[in-house]
């Protein structure tokens, strides 16, 4: 026999799971067709749920895109925390980024589309701020120079984009060389 609280907990859990499905589907839709391809119907079809589920959780497409951007930043922060040892160097960082780009290239391309979408929507700048805070935290382990921290953030964005545009992704050594140059001015 289920209690009222148990039933409510089950509904909350199902709602959270559907939300996760919708956000993952949004990134896949963007990966195939860009931000312009995102509609409630397209995302719901990709997630395998009725359109009404998408509109219930995200009343406007802009809500869906904002949540997908926020979720992407959180997912990368979690992946980074799980992949890097507690004490890491630029070689570890290069290996992680190269592996992440190789394994999640399509997702990274979709995230760049979201990133550019956010650049045109000032209300999403706090989410981009979280991304840059994450990168600043990484750079801060190697330097206290604010210019080097900004250069590191720009370099990682650029390295990620370059890796996506090449036939072969950047190697860990190539990434490490750039990171070393930016952070240590070699």
pLDDT in tens, 11-69: 888 989 999 999 999 999 999 999 999 999 999 999 999 999 999 999 999 999 999 99
Q: Residue 186: is its pLDDT beyond 80?
A: no
Give dist(CA 67, CA 162) in Å, integer: 26
Query: Which of 42-56, 70-84, 126-140 has maximum average pLDDT?
Result: 42-56
Extract the runs of DSSP E, i.e. beta strands, from the chain.
none
85 or 95, which is more confident?
95
Q: 6 falls in which pLDDT band (50, 70, 90)?
A: low
From residue 107, give the alpha-carbon distance in Å to each of 2, 13, 91, 97.
Answer: 40, 25, 23, 13
Q: Tell me what the pLDDT averaged over the chain comes to.
A: 89
Q: 101 falls in which pLDDT band (50, 70, 90)?
A: confident
Q: Long-range contact list for 22-27, CB < 8 A, 24+ apart?
A: 22/47, 22/49, 22/53, 22/54, 22/57, 22/58, 22/64, 23/64, 23/67, 23/68, 23/71, 26/64, 26/65, 26/67, 26/68, 27/68, 27/72, 27/107, 27/110, 27/111, 27/114
From residue 57, give the alpha-carbon distance in Å to each of 11, 12, 67, 163.
Answer: 13, 12, 10, 34
Residue 88: the pLDDT is: 84
Set out the domains of the chain in order of their start, with CATH numbers.
4-184 (1.10.357.10)
Q: Residue 173: is its pLDDT beyond 60?
A: yes
Residue 50: the pLDDT is: 97
**Considering the chain, what percentage of its residues have pLDDT values greater than 90?**
52
| Residues found in the chain | 186
């Amino acid at each position: 026999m289920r209690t009222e609280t148990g039933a409510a907990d089950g509904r909350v859990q199902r709602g959270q799971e559907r939300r996760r499905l919708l956000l993952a589907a949004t990134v896949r839709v963007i990966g195939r067709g860009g931000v312009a391809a995102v509609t409630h119907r397209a995302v719901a079809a990709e997630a395998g749920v009725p359109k009404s589920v998408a509109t219930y959780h995200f009343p406007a497409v802009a809500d869906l895109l904002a949540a997908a951007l926020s979720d992407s930043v959180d997912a990368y922060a979690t992946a980074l925390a799980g992949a890097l040892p507690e004490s890491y160097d630029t070689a570890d960082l290069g290996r992680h980024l190269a592996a992440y780009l190789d394994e999640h290239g399509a997702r990274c391309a979709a995230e760049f589309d979201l990133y550019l979408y956010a650049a045109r929507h000032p209300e999403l700048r706090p989410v981009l701020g979280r991304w840059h805070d994450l990168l600043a935290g990484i750079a801060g382990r190697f330097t206290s120079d604010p210019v080097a921290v900004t250069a590191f953030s720009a370099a990682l964005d650029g390295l990620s984009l370059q890796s996506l545009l090449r036939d072969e992704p950047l190697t860990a050594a190539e990434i490490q060389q750039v990171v070393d140059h930016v952070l240590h001015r070699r």
